[in-house]
Amino acid sequence: MLDFSNESNWWCLFALLLFAFVLGWFLSKWVNNSEYKRTERQKEVLRVQTPIANTTFTSKSPVNSEAPASNIKAVKTRDRNGVPAEAKKPTLNFDNFGKADPSQKDNLKLISGVGPFIEGKLNSIGIYTFDQISKFSKEDIDAVTQLIQFFPGRIERDNWKQQAIDLKN
């Protein structure tokens, strides 16, 4: 075992570590340049043999230049929020509860269970007033629940309709 109380032993250890590093570096260079390096001919053979399916791109190389360009598009399976894309979004029947515009807007955050986020969602689908919410039918509640995509069942659970009637008066 080495005794590191002597300064010459430290230099010996440093020299051994430096030698190991330099030896490893040279070996890695030698391996990269000889054994694992493919020739240009081997790379070209691999490019020709590997089929690229369902892609459209233009290439300046003559390899696969006679292949026709396809117009394959990705099929949208989910929206950004994870809801399946094929699920048809319901439409609101404004004849049931009336239309309003942003100039008639009430502070919907006064309803318990409606925060700034849900108020923004309601406004984005055309619901601005307590009067509209107070006239919701069961179908309207289901449609709004699907459209705001947030906390299913919250409208019934927090009784938005009764709160809107109370706040309207």
Q: Read off the pLDDT of residues 83-125 as tens digits, 9 standing for 90 and up.
A: 665 566 778 888 888 898 889 899 999 999 899 999 998 999 9
Q: Which residue has the higher pLDDT, 26 or 38?
A: 26
Domain assignment of residue 105, yes or no: yes
Say if residue 54 is exposed, middle or buried (CB neighbours under 10 Å; 0-12, 13-18, 19+): exposed
Residue 41 lies in domain = 7-49
- pLDDT(130) > 90: yes
The reply to whether 45 and 100 lie within a common domain is no
> What DSSP element (H or E) covers 14?
helix 7-33
Written as six digits, the tokens of 112 are: 């318990």
Percent of the chain at pLDDT > 90 equals 23
Domain assignment of residue 73, yes or no: no
Q: Which amino acid is at 134?
A: S
Which residue in this structure is represented by tokens 């925060």?
115
Q: Mean pLDDT of all residues in the chain?
A: 78
Confidence of residue 131 (pLDDT cuts 50, 70, 90): very high
The reply to whether 106 and 40 lie within a common domain is no
- pLDDT(58) > 60: no
The reply to whether 41 and 99 lie within a common domain is no
- pLDDT(61) > 80: no
Domain assignment of residue 109, yes or no: yes
Domain assignment of residue 128, yes or no: yes
Domain assignment of residue 15, yes or no: yes
Euclidean distance between CA atoms 133 and 111, whole angstroms: 10
Written as six digits, the tokens of 142 are: 């289901």
Q: Averaged over 127-131, what is the pLDDT?
A: 92
Q: pLDDT value at position 28?
A: 84
98: left (phi over 0), alpha (psi -120 to 50) or beta: left
The reply to whether 100 and 154 lie within a common domain is yes
- Of 65-69, 70-74, 93-97, the least confident: 65-69
Domain assignment of residue 108, yes or no: yes
Which residue in this structure is represented by tokens 């807007």?
105
- pLDDT(161) > 60: yes
The reply to whether 163 and 102 lie within a common domain is yes
- pLDDT(65) > 70: no
Domain assignment of residue 119, yes or no: yes
C-alpha to C-alpha distances, 103 to 49, 123, 124, nearest whole angstrom: 66, 12, 14
Which residue in this structure is represented by tokens 């590997």?
50
Q: Are 139 and 93 in contact (CB under 8 A)?
A: yes
Q: pLDDT value at position 111?
A: 92
The reply to whether 98 and 45 lie within a common domain is no
The tally of domains found in the chain comes to: 2
Euclidean distance between CA atoms 83 and 81, whole angstroms: 6
Q: Averaged over 135-150, what is the pLDDT?
A: 87
User: Full-prediction pTM beyond 0.75?
Assistant: no
Q: Averaged over 48-77, what is the pLDDT?
A: 60
Domain assignment of residue 78, yes or no: no
The reply to whether 103 and 45 lie within a common domain is no
Residues in the chain: 169
CA-CA-CA-CA dihedral for 107, 110, 116, 121, to nearest 10:
-70
